[in-house]
Chains A and B, each alone.
Chain A
Amino acid sequence: MIVDDLFDLTSFRVHREAHIRLDYERCRPCDHRACTFTCPARCYEWSQERSRVEFAYEACLECGTCLTVCDKDALDWHYPVGGFGVRFSR
């Protein structure tokens, strides 16, 4: 198993609007960027080019890790609209 294989197997019903929003201004001063390596779905990634954390909500597993490790209050965190988001089958 290689890590990339993991992320292709989970089923989602993606809503057109993001359920979590990242406030880049609040995020900027963060020096640990724990979200980028604790998120189990790789939703947060450090962009060298834009020198900020980039966030994509589509593959979110809705676990709440980012909400817990973010100490900059940079996340407007909600679950997806009912019926949307991850769908575990087993």
Chain B
Amino acid sequence: MPATPSYDAIVVGAGPAGTTAALAMAQKGLRVLLLERGESPGSKNMFGGMLAACAAPEELIPGFWKQAPWERHVVKRVLTVVGEGSSTSVVHQSDAADREPYAGFTLYRPVFDRWYAERARDAGVTLLCSCLVEGLVLRDGRVGGVRVARPQGVIEAPLVVACDGVTSLLAKEAGLHAGFTPHQLALGVRALFRLTEDEVDDRLGLSGLQGATNEFLGCTDGVRGGGFVYSQVDTLSVGVVAHLDSLTQKRIPPYDLLARFVASPWVAPLLKGARLAEYSAHLLPEGGIAMVPRLSAAGLLVAGDAAALCYTNGLTFEGMNLAMTSGKLAAETAIEALASGDTSAAGLASYEQRLRESYVIRDLKTWARAVDFMRRDQLFSAYPRMVGELMERVYRSDGQPKRRIGRHGLDVARESLPLRQLVRDGIAAGRSFL
């Protein structure tokens, strides 16, 4: 006789998506089991970035953004284009971003994820850490639970929410996708450097827990990708993100790219006297909307990185907010489906509709062309060099008659790339961003 499942839903992975889903379901009285393979939530996660404040967790926990253990609120965004021996930056700093409610935060995932999962436990979620889900229970054409490396072996439930991260092994097992490929993924490596709070303030021009994000283009030896420096209270996250297919083509190890970036004149002065504290790596889904798998099957919903809900358009980098929002929408779908007793494929199909109506899929669609645009090698080599060369000429004062900026621009462009290429890239840029 089959045992009665003692949980209404099993959530796999206590990251931002999974914890949000578990919390939202528990608040509606469902019995939820949240499984995490790390010894504590966040211990397998790294993050060098800015989390954009989003409504999802605030709707579940009023005052969320006031309580959550973030590091600095971001007031300053810097984009630096690295050329041949030069760099050119655009700095955006905003008073509005310095007032509550803050718009973006830097944080440590092992700290943030752990705190957030505790809030889910407060709401009644059963959190089980150090528990690896080895696969799904597939029976009669539907998902009916998970297999774990524990004495009981199998945990059954009418619904599984897979928030198992970028490798997305559960969605793959369920046949929702065929496995992500190198051209859909980027590899991020990060070194964490310890300074004092004052040193971080002084070096980045900040005060009173203000934070800065710094992105660098053209610093990756022609590999498609970029560098970053993010400020926590008394540390800097310094890293490189590289498209996996480009890294494979160029045959440059990611830690070598990182070491060169750290030693570069644009980064080294920030790190003077800093102590290296930790090294980490993680994959990022960067294939845009085309990479998003089917999002549900009978008895299964997929959210967060596992559903490839993550993107960059070259200026903004979003993932955690999309993960939390998708987790909440998965929970809303689950609550309805479990109440009606229909967790079939048809019963869960409204999840995709909810995502399509939300900013999650809409943003991915908005930037669909930008994702393709960012796959042009010259954006990471020829164009950054052109910017550097142009600015050199604009600022040069050497006793020769000056030319107008537009003239310099045309000269530099013609010297760098064939006209046809420039026109093609220009049109593509327009279609991607305008």
Establish whether residues A90 and B283, one from each chain, have CB atoms under 8 Å apart when the complex forms. Answer: no
Establish whether residues B149 and A61, one from each chain, have CB atoms under 8 Å apart when the complex forms. Answer: no
Establish whether residues A3 and B38, one from each chain, have CB atoms under 8 Å apart when the complex forms. Answer: no
CB contacts under 8 Å to A, within B207-260, are 232, 235, 244, 247-248, 251-256, 258-259
B interface SS class? mixed
Q: Decide if A79 is an interface residue (CB 8 Å cutoff).
A: yes
Establish whether residues B251 and A1, one from each chain, have CB atoms under 8 Å apart when the complex forms. Answer: no
- Segment among B57-65, B178-186, B347-355, B401-409 that sits at the interface with chain A: B178-186
Contact of B276 among A9, A34, A62, A87 (CB under 8 A): A9
Contact code string B165-184 (vs A, CB < 8 Å = 1, else 0): 01100000000000011100
Q: Which residue of B lies closest to A86 (CB)?
A: B44
Expressed in whole angstroms, the minimum distance between the Cβ of A66 and any Cβ of chain B is: 11
With the chains together, A78 CA to B43 CA distance in Å? 17
Q: Decide if A24 is an interface residue (CB 8 Å cutoff).
A: no
Establish whether residues A68 and B185, one from each chain, have CB atoms under 8 Å apart when the complex forms. Answer: yes
Establish whether residues B43 and A82, one from each chain, have CB atoms under 8 Å apart when the complex forms. Answer: no
Given the contacts A2-B259, A6-B255, A68-B182, A90 and B278 also touching, CB distance less than 8 Å: yes
CB contacts under 8 Å to B, within A24-57, are 32, 34, 37-38, 40-42
With the chains together, A43 CA to B235 CA distance in Å? 28
With the chains together, A81 CA to B255 CA distance in Å? 27
Interface residue tally for chain A (C-beta within 8 Å)? 36
Establish whether residues B248 and A3, one from each chain, have CB atoms under 8 Å apart when the complex forms. Answer: no
Q: Decide if B191 is an interface residue (CB 8 Å cutoff).
A: yes
Expressed in whole angstroms, the minimum distance between the Cβ of B428 and any Cβ of chain A is: 27
With the chains together, A83 CA to B148 CA distance in Å? 13
Q: Give the residues in chain A near B167, CB-CB below 8 Å.
A: 64, 67
Contact of A61 among B180, B253, B280 (CB under 8 A): B280
Contact code string B21-43 (vs A, CB < 8 Å = 1, else 0): 00000000000000001110011
Expressed in whole angstroms, the minimum distance between the Cβ of B130 and any Cβ of chain A is: 3
Contact of B132 among A5, A9, A65, A81 (CB under 8 A): A81
B interface, how many residues as a size bin?
35 or more
- Segment among B108-116, B119-127, B312-320, B377-385 that sits at the interface with chain A: B108-116
Q: Decide if B263 is an interface residue (CB 8 Å cutoff).
A: yes
Q: Decide if B277 is an interface residue (CB 8 Å cutoff).
A: yes
With the chains together, A64 CA to B282 CA distance in Å? 8
Given the contacts A69-B244, A87-B39, A9 and B279 also touching, CB distance less than 8 Å: yes
With the chains together, A42 CA to B255 CA distance in Å? 9
With the chains together, A86 CA to B108 CA distance in Å? 16
Expressed in whole angstroms, the minimum distance between the Cβ of B162 and any Cβ of chain A is: 14
Establish whether residues A40 and B189, one from each chain, have CB atoms under 8 Å apart when the complex forms. Answer: yes
Establish whether residues B110 and A40, one from each chain, have CB atoms under 8 Å apart when the complex forms. Answer: no
Q: Which residue of B lies closest to A40 (CB)?
A: B281
Establish whether residues B235 and A82, one from each chain, have CB atoms under 8 Å apart when the complex forms. Answer: no
Expressed in whole angstroms, the minimum distance between the Cβ of A67 and any Cβ of chain B is: 7
With the chains together, A6 CA to B252 CA distance in Å? 17
Establish whether residues B276 and A90, one from each chain, have CB atoms under 8 Å apart when the complex forms. Answer: no
Q: Give the residues in chain B near A6, CB-CB below 8 Å.
A: 191, 255, 258-259, 276, 279
Q: Give the residues in chain B near A62, CB-CB below 8 Å.
A: 44
- The 19 listed contacts between A and B (C-beta, < 8 Å) are A3-B256, A7-B279, A9-B276, A9-B279, A13-B39, A37-B251, A62-B44, A63-B187, A63-B281, A64-B283, A68-B182, A80-B37, A82-B37, A83-B129, A87-B38, A87-B43, A90-B110, A90-B235, A90-B277
Residues of A within 8 A of B (CB): 1-3, 5-7, 9-10, 13, 32, 34, 37-38, 40-42, 61-65, 67-69, 78-83, 85-90
Lowest 9 A-B CB distances belong to which pairs? A83-B130, A40-B281, A82-B132, A6-B279, A82-B130, A64-B167, A61-B281, A82-B131, A83-B39
Knowing that A41-B281, A82-B129, A83-B39 touch, tell me 12 more A-B residue pairs with CB under 8 angstroms.
A1-B259, A2-B259, A6-B258, A7-B279, A10-B278, A38-B254, A79-B132, A83-B38, A86-B44, A87-B38, A87-B43, A88-B110
